[in-house]
Amino acid sequence: MSLLEIEKLSMKIGSLSLLKDIDLSIAPGEVLGLVGESGSGKSMTALAVMRLTPAHAQMKGRISFNGIDILGATEPQMCALRGDDIGMVFQEPMTALNPVKTIGEQVAEGIRWHTRASRREAEERARKILDRVGLPEQKFALSRYPHELSGGQRQRVAIAIACALKPKLLIADEPTTALDVVLQAQILDLLKELVDENRMSLLFISHDLAVVTEMADRITILRQGTVVESGDTARTLSEATHPYTRQLALASTHVPARVRPHVEEAGADNLLDVANVTRDYPGTRRSLFSRPEPVRAVDNVSLTMKPGASVALVGRSGCGKSTLARMILALDTPTSGAIKFRGLDIAGRSEAELRRPRRNMQVVFQDPYGSFDPRHTVERLVAEPLHLLERRPDRKERRDMVARALHEVGLGRSDMEKYPHEFSGGQRQRLSIARAIITRPKLVVADEPVSALDVSIRAQILDLFAELNQKLGVAYLFITHDLTVARAITDDVLVMHEGRIVERGKTSDVLSQPSTEAAQALVSAAPDLHRAIARRLQEQG
Partner 1 sequence: MTAYLLKRLLIGAATLVVASVVVFLMLEVVPGDPARVMLGMNASEAQVELLRDQMGLNQPLIVRYLDWARGLLSLDFGKSYTYSVPVIDLIRERIVVSFPLAVIALALSTLIAIPVGLFAAARRGRAGDTAAMAVAQIGVAMPNFWFALLLVYVFAVWLRLVPAGGFPGWGAGAWPALKALILPAVALALPQAAILARVTRAALVEVLGEDYIRTARAKGMPMRAVMWRHALRNAMIPVLTIMGLQFAFLLAGTIIIENVFYLPGLGRLVFQAITQRDLIVVESVVMLLVAAVVTVNLLVDLSYALVDPRLRTRQ
- Of the pair 146, 499, the CB lying nearest partner 1 is at 146
Q: Is position 77 an interface residue for partner 1 (rule: CB under 8 A)?
A: no
Q: Is 367 among the residues that bind partner 1 (CB under 8 A)?
A: no
Residues 3, 70, 162, 434: which binds partner 1 (CB under 8 A)?
162
Residue 38 contacts partner 1 per CB under 8 A: no
**Does 352 participate in binding partner 1 (rule CB under 8 A)?**
no
Q: Is 83 in the site for partner 1 (CB under 8 A)?
A: yes
Q: Give phi and psi for 471, each to the nearest 5.
A: -75, -45
Q: Does 103 bind partner 1 (CB under 8 A)?
A: no
The verdict on 158 binding partner 1 (CB under 8 A) reads yes
- Compare residues 76 and 343 and give the one whose CB is closer to partner 1: 76
- Which among 516, 172, 531, 132 is positioned nearest to 316, based on CA atoms? 516
98 is an interface residue for partner 1 by CB under 8 A:
yes
Residue 447 to residue 541: CA distance in whole angstroms: 42
Among 14, 74, 75, 394, binds partner 1 (CB under 8 A): 75
Give the residue with the Cβ less far from partner 1, 145 or 365. Answer: 145
96 lies in the site for partner 1, by CB under 8 A: yes
Find the binder of partner 1 among 69, 148, 189, 422 (CB under 8 A).
148
Q: Among residues 8, 60, 147, 407, which is the contact residue for partner 1, using CB under 8 A?
A: 147
Instruction: Name the minimum Å distance from CB 193 to partner 1.
Output: 21
- Out of 92, 121, 345, 491, point to the residue binding partner 1 (CB under 8 A): 92
SS3 274: strand
> How big is the site for partner 1, counted in residues (CB under 8 A)?
34
Instruction: Please identify which residue in 34, 88, 330, 416 interacts with partner 1, judged by CB under 8 A.
Output: 88
Q: Of the candidates 342, 312, 315, which has an alpha carbon nearest to the alpha carbon of residue 330?
A: 342
Our finding on whether 76 is near partner 1 (CB under 8 A) is yes
Q: How far is the CB of 108 from partner 1 (least distance, A)?
A: 11
Three-state DSSP string of 165-228: CCCCEEEEECCCCCCCHHHHHHHHHHHHHHHHHHCCEEEEEECCHHHHHHHCCEEEEEECCEEE
What is the sign of the dihedral through the CA atoms of 128, 133, 136 and 142? negative
Among 6, 48, 130, 161, which residue interacts with partner 1 (rule: CB under 8 A)? Answer: 161
Give the nearest distance from C-beta 157 to partner 1 in angstroms: 10
Helix (H, G, I), strand (E, B), or coil: what is residue 505?
A: strand
By C-beta, is 194 or 459 nearer to partner 1? Answer: 194
Rounded-to-integer distance, Cα 316 and Cα 303, Å: 19
Largest Cα separation within the chain, whole Å, is 75
What's the closest the beta carbon of residue 202 comes to partner 1, in angstroms?
15
Residue 143 to residue 350: CA distance in whole angstroms: 46
* Of the residues 8, 58, 60, 95, which one makes contact with partner 1 according to CB under 8 A: 95
Q: How remote is the C-alpha of 466 from its chain's centroid? A: 21
Between strands 57-65 and 218-223, the pairing is: unpaired
Identify residues 274-313 at the interface with partner 1 (CB under 8 A).
284-285, 288
Contact call for residues 37 and 455 (beta carbons, < 8 A): yes
Q: Minimum CB separation from partner 1 for residue 82, in Å? A: 4
303: CB partners within 8 A, 6+ apart? 272, 274, 311, 494, 501, 504
Beta carbons of 450 and 426 less than 8 angstroms apart:
no
In whole angstroms, the minimum distance from the beta carbon of 402 to partner 1 comes to 35
Strand order in the sheet with 218-223: 86-89, 169-173, 201-206, 31-35, 218-223, 226-232
Positions 105 through 144 that interact with partner 1 (CB under 8 A): 109-110, 113-114
Interface residues with partner 1 (CB under 8 A) are 50, 52, 75-76, 79-84, 87-88, 90, 92, 95-101, 109-110, 113-114, 145, 147-148, 158, 161-162, 284-285, 288
